[in-house]
Amino acid sequence: MTRLQLKPLLASLILAFGLHGLPVAAEVDPDRVEALGFSPQRLGKIDDFVRRDIAAQKIPGAVTLVARHGELVHLVAQGTLGVDDPRPMAIDTLFRIYSMTKPVTTVAAMMLYEEGAFHLDDPVHRYLPEFAEVKILRDGQPVDPERPITIENLMTHTAGLTYGWHPTDPVDKAYRDADLINSTSSADFIARLTALPLRFEPGSRYHYSVATDVLGVLVERISGMSLEAFFQTRIFAPLGMHDTFFNVPEDKLQRLAANHVWNSEAGRIVPIPPESSQPVTDVAVFSGGGGLISSARDYWVFCEMLRRGGSYQGTRILGPKTVQFMIMDHLSPEVRDRGAAENPNSHLYPGQSFGLGFGIITDPGQTGVISSKGAFSWGGAANTKFWIDPQEDLIAILMTQVMAAPYGDALRFDMKVATYQALTGLGSPP
């Protein structure tokens, strides 16, 4: 197929997939796609797996994005906003990104770190005094931990905190009983949390947890601003991220995709009633671990800032050395492996470790999916995912809205395979 044949094909695909509101055709010009080291035809495999999963009723729709050297090579919306909402998915659709909030919160904290507000090895109780008396269960008895939780422990999920997901562990049961998700304020959240024992000694193992929510409260205490206000004034507005919020403005609610959950008995996804899903309006407790709503395009801007070493279109958020430090492996093999062995749902795959706010690929050969050493990423509970690959200088983002899907990892891995197989070479930066 010649380039002249391919250009009208791309235009027809844009119309077929319901892409509107942005000049997508100009941004995915096939001449530039090829110059950036991608095959326009082979990038179509991303569309293929999305269409397959829509047909299988695994997802209602999705927005997929790939960029290289700072330029979009793929931006496609397919499907509908929900299984009960026939409106077409659009490239400006809003999604609950859940744990993809965590990198944003960690960036906010590192901005304060650069300003001299704290050191990474400072004990958390220096800024959140409620943590001074936190205990750990030893032989069933609450005792003082051997060392305090540090701020770096919060950023690396080595703080001894948990999420309450383990069905039989007594600390996880206490988390469930404390009903942290329904805290009435950040102070109430910290009060409920610090009344609970630690799951393990701080620094001794990786264990995915509410640590980033605590980090968000720390940002609030140090800055004197709500996390919502800090994000908006210090990150979103400077970067031009106009579609990322804790509270979705009324005039943008119609762009929000419906949330879904996998129904194993029916063998398909079903809608989650809005009252049972993550709130998107009238939010007063800002979850640094999972509360944001965003679009693929907006989150790409955040990723571009990181890819460029902390700066985007002349606005510097972090210094390049800080970003470099954040995407280093911050777990010793013992801490990483101990956590994975004790907690199979640790959210770290073989060949992956953790930096400050990101999962880091340390050994691509062990991951089970094509990747690059040093790529960093994270995902959200509704099967959103991003990764940034410094080696290939690319960013990829997948946005959909399905909770508790047993095929979630396969969906994200399909996105990786479809992205990497389309590479043809290093490409030329603009």
Give me the CATH number covering residue 133: 3.40.710.10
Same domain membership, residue 25 and residue 65? yes
Give the residue from 155, 152, 134 showing the smallest Cα distance to 199.
134
Give the distance from CA 118 to its chain's centroid: 25
Same domain membership, residue 77 and residue 10? yes
Q: What per-residue string of b and e applies to 224-236 under the rule 16 or more CB within 10 Å gives b? A: ebbbbebbbebbb
Residues 6+ apart with CB under 8 A from 66: 38, 43, 46, 72, 73, 74, 75, 394, 395, 396, 397, 419, 422
Question: Which of residues 173, 193, 224 is at a domain's end?
Answer: 224
Specify the pLDDT at position 417.
98
Same domain membership, residue 173 and residue 27? no
Residue 273 lies in a domain: yes
- In this structure, the number of other CB atoms found within 10 A of the CB of residue 204 comes to 17
pLDDT in tens, 330-368: 999 999 988 776 666 667 889 999 999 999 999 999 999
Residue 425 lies in a domain: no
Local structure of 368: helix, strand or coil: coil
Same domain membership, residue 316 and residue 273? yes
Give the residue from 258, 266, 207 showing the smallest Cα distance to 401.
258
Residue 242 lies in a domain: yes
The model's pTM is: 0.93
In the chain, the N- to C-terminal Cα span, in Å, equals: 25
Same domain membership, residue 394 and residue 247? yes
- In this structure, the number of other CB atoms found within 10 A of the CB of residue 121 comes to 9
Average pLDDT, whole number, for the chain?
A: 91
Same domain membership, residue 87 and residue 112? no
- In this structure, the number of other CB atoms found within 10 A of the CB of residue 395 comes to 24
Residue 430 lies in a domain: no
Same domain membership, residue 415 and residue 359? yes
Residue 371 lies in a domain: yes
Specify the pLDDT at position 10.
33
| Angle (deg, nearest 10), helices 211-223 and 101-114 | 40
Residue reference for tokens 């398909």: 268
Question: Which of residues 175, 199, 224 is at a domain's end?
Answer: 224
pLDDT in tens, 303-327: 999 999 999 999 999 999 999 999 9
Same domain membership, residue 113 and residue 36? no
Residue 253 lies in a domain: yes
Residue 429 lies in a domain: no
User: Rounded to an integer, what distance in angstroms lies between the CA atom of residue 228 and that of residue 356?
Assistant: 21
Same domain membership, residue 372 and residue 300? yes
Specify the pLDDT at position 339.
73
Q: In what order do the strands lie in the sheet with 384-389?
A: 85-88, 71-82, 61-68, 394-399, 384-389, 376-380, 359-361, 352-354
Q: What is the per-residue DSSP string for 170-219?
A: HHHHHHHHHTGGG-SSHHHHHHHHHTSPBSS-TTS-----THHHHHHHHH
Q: What is the DSSP letter of 235?
A: I
Residue 43 lies in a domain: yes
How would you classify the pairing of strands 260-263 and 402-403? parallel
Same domain membership, residue 292 and residue 152? no
Specify the pLDDT at position 343.
65
Domain of residue 109 covers: 104-224
Q: Which ranges of the chain have pLDDT less than 70?
A: 1-27, 341-346
Question: Which of residues 208, 224, 240 is at a domain's end?
Answer: 224
The token pair at 376 is: 């960093």
Question: How many domains does the chain contain in total?
Answer: 2
341, exposed or middle or buried, with CB in 10 Å at 0-12, 13-18, 19+? Answer: exposed
User: Rounded to an integer, what distance in angstroms lies between the CA atom of residue 342 and that of residue 205?
Assistant: 9
AA identity, residue 423: L
Same domain membership, residue 330 and residue 259? yes
Same domain membership, residue 276 and residue 343? yes
